[in-house]
Amino acid sequence: GTQVTVEIHPRDSPPQLFKKLSFGKGPRRLPSLSGQDNKGFQRTEAPRPPGGKDLHAYPWDRSSLKSMAVDLQQFEKLDAYALKVNVRSSVEELVRALLKQAHTDLEKVRAIWMWICHHIEYDVVGYHNKSQLSCRPIDVLQSGKSICEGYAGLFEHMCSLAGIQCMKLFGYSKGYGYKLGQTFSGDSDHAWNAVYLDGRWHLLDSTWGSGSVDDSFTKFTFRYNEFYFLTHPALFINNHFPDNSNWQLLKPALVLKDFENNILHNSNFYTLGLLAAHPGTAIIQTVEGKASVSVDCRPATLFTFKLQGTEQQGLLTLKKQGMRLDVYPQQTGSQRLQIFAKPSRASDDVYQCVLEYVVRCGAVDEAARLPRALHQPVGPSWFSERQGFLRPSHPEPIIRTNDGRCALTFTMGRELSVLASLHCDGDDLPEELGRRHVMQLRRGNQLELKVHLPRAGTFVLKIYAKKKSDPGNYDYVFNYLLSCLHAEAQWPPFPQSYSKWGQDWEVVEPLSGVLPAGRNVRFKLRVQGVAKVLVQAEDSYPLTHSKGYWEGSCNTAGCREVFVMVHENANHSFYSQVLKYQVESQ
């Protein structure tokens, strides 16, 4: 005759005895609130709705990707244990196995999260044929596959068994099939969870944490994504819009129109250390043929882009805390703009897509057509500083010259050897000739590049470097965009230099590599460490050394080429060619 008292009372009211139940003799099993296999699990309190202390400020304060402090290194042993658990007989047995190594509420949630993300695959067949789909937790467990509702339902049930308050949430998402700028209406298209830890609600999405499907939605690939575990609500709202706005956990909450218009930042955006993108809307309208995007980030990050699948028609410049991109579409209408990024010190060359926009171009700026040789990013940056090019005289990516001439200076170590060349569209500037339109001069740690453009137009100045002690090839470092609109600008190449020409030697005159025929031409050179200098035309013309310069003149009559030659050692009679000039046809 054991007497058992069962108290039944309304939620959130003080206990009040309604009924006493007496059970007869013999072993009897009390009915369970969660089914007949829940023996040994603690009773989970009914989830409370979110309140003021659950809310986070919007927009994101850039403090953390998580909504609570989490040390992932402390989870390493637990994560490894959860991945090895192999129980499919019942959800209860699976939870018991996981809780052997999980003790705090956070550890319990983590173990459940890790197991689901690594053992349940997305059911692409069931997604297309809902009649063959079951989202019951036991069916999801035993089949090892489901859609988002099954992931969220299994997670909710496992948390309940583990004594963790958990909610299954429904809403709109910017996942598979999402198109930039689309509107949302009708039924929800996604499910995820909220868990109650340390006195606050937190958000997670085990479906997106487990992996991804291909573009045709026919194949799922396990690809664990840590970002969607306890994601900061101000970041979660970027692609999750709950039916009940209270579950945004934000103050102020977003309206659906904001969610639709806002640019989609995928998880790569934040895991690569990026902070914000401007503009914040998915659709950009060009102004006078140009659209601009900028990204803020903490670490030095490399970027590239594609406009309608090509890297052309854009100017991407790297900043210490991000990048700026100006694109100039060469056709009207809507065009897809993708932005990619990778850590600057990454061992591989794989860029990940972090942003997508739709650029709507109403009118094309024909004058903004960029040379095909232009390489991204453009202009000096922290990356060129790492390669040794410091304090550039021209920090911007575009150099505009009125007369077709310009001079650039950098501070750099003497151990570096530099090569520069000029490029443009068309066949009138082959690579060898392009090098001769740039002359370099070294003065201690100062490098000067003099550039003479062959004509008006748009050109690319590419700069390469290597250590002098390195026998290998030059490595590309960066490039500038040069522009000259003066129709009469037309400069000949500089004289051709040979290997014996010293980097700290200087041509004062003549700078033109093409000399007039049958004329006396004056020479002035700064050449150190040689015994003699002469100019070889039809005759030989020795130059005189005075105040650090070698000076004199020669006559170009009767010759097609003129050479500058140096006598390096007074004890020998051998002269080395260091410069070559062409002579105009008579």
Residues 189 and 280 in one domain: no
CA-only gyration radius of the chain, Å = 36
Residues 349 and 485 in one domain: no
Q: In 3D, which of 377, 409, 370, 372 has the Cα closest to residue 392? A: 409
Set 56, 118, 119, 190: catalytic member: 190
Residues 213 and 79 in one domain: yes
DSSP for 162-222? TT--EEEEEEEES-TT--TT----SS--EEEEEEEETTEEEEE-HHHHHEEE-TTS--EEE
| CATH number (domain holding residue 305) | 2.60.40.10
What's residue 298's pLDDT? 83
Residues 205 and 100 in one domain: yes
Domain assignment present for 5: no
Domain assignment present for 40: no
3-class SS of residue 448:
strand
Domain assignment present for 11: no
Q: From start to end of 468-501, where are the E strands?
A: 475-484, 496-497
Query: Cβ–Cβ contacts within 10 Å for residue 415, how many?
Result: 11
3-class SS of residue 305:
strand
Instruction: Please tell me the distance from the alpha carbon of residue 211 to that of residue 206, in angstroms, as a whole number.
Output: 9
Cβ–Cβ < 8 Å for 556, 515: yes
Residues 251 and 120 in one domain: yes
Residues 304 and 420 in one domain: no
| CATH number (domain holding residue 547) | 2.60.40
Instruction: Please tell me the distance from the alpha carbon of residue 477 to that of residue 363, in angstroms, as a whole number.
Output: 34
When divided into structural domains, the chain yields a total of 4
Set 135, 148, 406, 424: catalytic member: 148
Task: State which of 229, 258, 287 marks the end of a domain.
Answer: 258
Q: Is 205 one of the annotated active-site residues of the chain?
A: yes
Domain assignment present for 265: no
Domain assignment present for 276: yes
Phi/psi region, residue 391 (left: phi>0; alpha: psi -120 to 50; beta: rest), is left
Domain assignment present for 6: no
Angle between helices 105-119 and 148-161 (to 10 degrees): 150
Task: State which of 476, 494, 512 marks the end of a domain.
Answer: 494
Residues 253 and 164 in one domain: yes
Strands 145-146 and 121-122: parallel
Instruction: Please tell me the distance from the alpha carbon of residue 42 to that of residue 33, in angstroms, as a whole number.
Output: 11
Cβ–Cβ < 8 Å for 440, 447: yes
| CATH number (domain holding residue 481) | 2.60.40.1220
Residues 502 and 470 in one domain: no
Cβ–Cβ < 8 Å for 101, 111: yes
Residues 231 and 275 in one domain: no
Q: Is 54 one of the annotated active-site residues of the chain?
A: no
Phi/psi region, residue 35 (left: phi>0; alpha: psi -120 to 50; beta: rest), is left
Task: State which of 433, 464, 494 marks the end of a domain.
Answer: 494
| CATH number (domain holding residue 126) | 3.10.620
Cβ–Cβ < 8 Å for 358, 285: no
What's residue 40's pLDDT? 65
Domain assignment present for 62: no
Set 54, 79, 205, 326: catalytic member: 205
Residues 243 and 128 in one domain: yes
Over the chain (586 residues), what is each successive 10-residue block's mean pLDDT?
A: 63 45 33 43 77 93 93 96 96 97 97 98 92 91 96 97 97 93 94 97 98 92 97 97 97 96 94 95 95 92 94 92 95 95 86 95 91 95 95 97 96 93 90 94 94 96 94 94 94 94 93 96 95 95 95 95 90 88 90
End-to-end CA distance of the chain: 130
Domain assignment present for 13: no
What's residue 2's pLDDT? 59
Q: Is 148 one of the annotated active-site residues of the chain?
A: yes
Residues 461 and 394 in one domain: yes
What's residue 345's pLDDT? 83
Residues 140 and 241 in one domain: yes
- Residue-number span of the structural domain to which 561 is assigned: 495-585
Instruction: Please tell me the distance from the alpha carbon of residue 134 to that of residue 147, in angstroms, as a whole number.
Output: 9
